[in-house]
């Protein structure tokens, strides 16, 4: 167990950040899944920018690696283009 006041605060803040990161990551994964399931090109093109934005935000905050975000965006772009 932590012995210092600052260490206890760090434990609390890490847990709060973990919960927020988990929520944002899960929300983005659900949005990607929704985009992949779409069959209408207009709907997919409308949803695509928001999903890309979510991925960029996750990469910027180091929740996912920048290269992973780029790979996911590329795959989603190919999917939307193929509709």
pTM: 0.85
- The number of beta carbons lying within 10 Å of the beta carbon of residue 51 is 20
Task: State residue 3's pLDDT score.
Answer: 83
Position 69 in a domain = yes
Q: What is the pLDDT of residues 16-66, one digit of tens each?
A: 999 999 999 999 999 999 999 999 999 999 999 999 999 999 999 999 999
Position 14 in a domain = no
Q: How far is the C-alpha of 72 from the C-alpha of 19, rounded, in Å?
A: 23
Q: How far is the C-alpha of 55 from the C-alpha of 6, rounded, in Å?
A: 32
Position 13 in a domain = no
Is the per-residue pLDDT at 82 higher than 90? Answer: yes
- The model's confidence at residue 72, banded by pLDDT at 50, 70 and 90, is very high
How many domains is the chain built from?
1
Is the per-residue pLDDT at 2 higher than 90? Answer: no
Domain that holds residue 62: 40-83
**DSSP 8-state assignment for residue 61:** T
Position 29 in a domain = no
Position 55 in a domain = yes
- The number of beta carbons lying within 10 Å of the beta carbon of residue 72 is 19
């Amino acid at each position: 167990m932590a012995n210092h006041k600052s260490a206890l605060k760090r434990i609390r803040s890490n847990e709060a950040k973990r919960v927020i990161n988990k929520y944002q990551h899960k929300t983005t994964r659900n949005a990607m899944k929704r985009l992949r399931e779409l069959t209408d090109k207009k709907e997919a093109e409308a949803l695509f920018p928001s999903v890309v934005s979510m991925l960029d935000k996750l990469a910027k905050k180091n929740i996912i690696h920048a290269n992973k975000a780029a790979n996911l965006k590329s795959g989603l772009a190919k999917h939307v283009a193929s509709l």
